[in-house]
Amino acid sequence: MSDSGEVQDPDDSLLHKLSSKTSIFSLKLYVVLGILLLCSVVVFLTIFLFICLNKKSRKRKMRVKHSSRLIPLVSKEIVEIKALDRGARAGKAEVKIGNADLKEPKVEVPIEGEKRSGESKVSGGSRSDVSVEPENIGWGRWYSLNELEIATRGFAVENVIGEGGYGIVYRGVLQDGSVVAVKNLLNNKGQAEKEFKVEVEAIGKVRHKNLVGLIGYCAEGAQRMLVYEYIDNGNLEQWLHGDVGPVSPLTWDIRMRIAIETAKGLAYLHEGLEPKVVHRDVKSSNILLDKKWKPKVSDFGLAKLLGSGASYVTTRVMGTFGYVSPEYASTGMLNEGSDVYSFGVLLMEIITGRSPIDYSRSAGEMNLVDWFKGMVASRRGEELLDPLIEVHPPPRALKRALLVCLRCIDLDINKRPKMGQIVHMLEADDFPFRSELRSAREKDPVPSVADMSTKVAHTSKNGGGGYIERLRHR
């Protein structure tokens, strides 16, 4: 047999084919295959990244459910000074409300103490047809546990609208159609009962346009619940720190109206009641807003009654970090001055749009009070204004608000103004200057801070601190 007919190796044949030129730019076959493989990998990675980003955006949108989709979410939380907070959260899994099938209410709402109200009809005694006869208690009525279970659909998780230090707040619809906020107090070593007694006694008969009304309660067995009017436009913290776009809907005039009416509500608690009531947890998340931006002060769970003739009440320090006055945090001595300090911090928050404590900022700007004082001392008060406010206020109005802030946070509690005096100072507007400074306006259209602060000081009849003196010499 002849050796001329050699058998070709298959490997050599494959290499020959891969090395052969193609019609695509005369590229060899293995180059074309490599390019196709690389393109397929790139397409696959692009699709994978797109799916991942889409999932993240959906999670971000679905993170919190609100009663109104127009209410902005809050990007950050403020830590509370509550030693038993973790214990309260851990105890939620064991809470069962008259129904063995109810699961533990998992709450993913970052705002605490939300009790919203809106078009609720606050009536002294809303009626419902139930087997248990309702007991009227003068200012409201007693609700059975069965009534509130029906109103909240078995305390369903989807009806959760807020979570406070002592309990969870549910949106409920009573049998007469009125919308309410039901606060289920957590029974944590008897503290819920204490809060229940304080709230019922302090708020039950209180009626003021700037205070959230308590319309009833439930006390069956170990369960303690409070029924409030319902407000459906979120709270001030959401509108100050949530995503509202490049321009805040809270204009300067709206912000000052919120501050003034909040001060009126607190002034009523301090000066219009006997015994007087100290709120003890004044903060932006406890200022609820209706559709017309009318504020209502909520969450009186930390309120303490001051008996007639008592100047101070010594108590365990509770409140929200950043708002608590220095003397209250260090000594536990509580009186109206503690609320005044907290209101001063709240007013700073309204003006600047910044949280009282913001760990995302630099060390010099982390604490709102310290940064605020430093800016005023450096004569940079105009830079304190929230950049989301489109139309800036008149210089006089801004300086007056800054002065009120400094008066409220005076380290000397005796030099802080009363809430009633704060209302007068914020409402003063141009009135104190119209008659006395008419001639001065012709020479200087913008009055000096010294004139302004002197008039406000005369209205409040209180002294100022060192930073106020610096304002006067600006």
Pairs from 69-72 (Cβ < 8 Å, separation ≥ 24): 71/233, 71/234, 71/238, 71/239, 71/242, 72/234, 72/238, 72/239, 72/242, 72/243, 72/244
β 167-173/160-163 pair status: antiparallel
Output the 3-class SS for 377-402: HCCCHHHHCCCCCCCCCCHHHHHHHH
Structure tokens at 48: 């994978």
Kindly give, in sequence order, each residue whose CB lies less than 8 Å from that of residue 347, ignoring residues fewer than 6 positions away: 259, 401, 404, 405, 408
**137: exposed, middle or buried (Cβ count in 10 Å: 0-12, 13-18, 19+):** middle
DSSP label at residue 70: T
CA–CA dist 463, 458 (Å, integer)? 9
Between the alpha carbon of residue 47 and those of residues 41, 50, 62, 193, 447, the distances in Å are 10, 5, 23, 56, 63
**Where do the H-state alpha helices sit in 225-251?**
236-241
CB atoms closer than 10 angstroms to residue 422? 27
State the sign of the Cα–Cα–Cα–Cα dihedral 48, 51, 55, 60.
positive
Phi, psi angles (nearest 5°) of residue 389: -80, 115
Residue 281 known to be catalytic: yes
CB atoms closer than 10 angstroms to residue 79? 11
Residue pair 206/273 in contact (Cβ under 8 Å)? The answer is yes
Residue closest to 402 by CA, chosen among 356, 441, 456 = 456
Q: Would you put residue 228 in left (φ > 0), alpha (ψ -120 to 50) or beta?
A: beta
Residue pair 67/119 in contact (Cβ under 8 Å)? The answer is no
Which of 9, 243, 281, 451 is labelled catalytic? 281
Residue closest to 143 by CA, chosen among 176, 118, 115, 121 = 176
Q: Which residues of 397-418 are buried (b: 16+ CB within 10 A; e: fewer)?
A: bbbbbbbbbbbbbbeebeebbb
CA–CA dist 434, 436 (Å, integer)? 6
Nearest-5° angle of CA 378, CA 380, CA 383? 150
CA–CA dist 279, 273 (Å, integer)? 13
CA–CA dist 16, 229 (Å, integer)? 85
Residues with a known catalytic role: 281
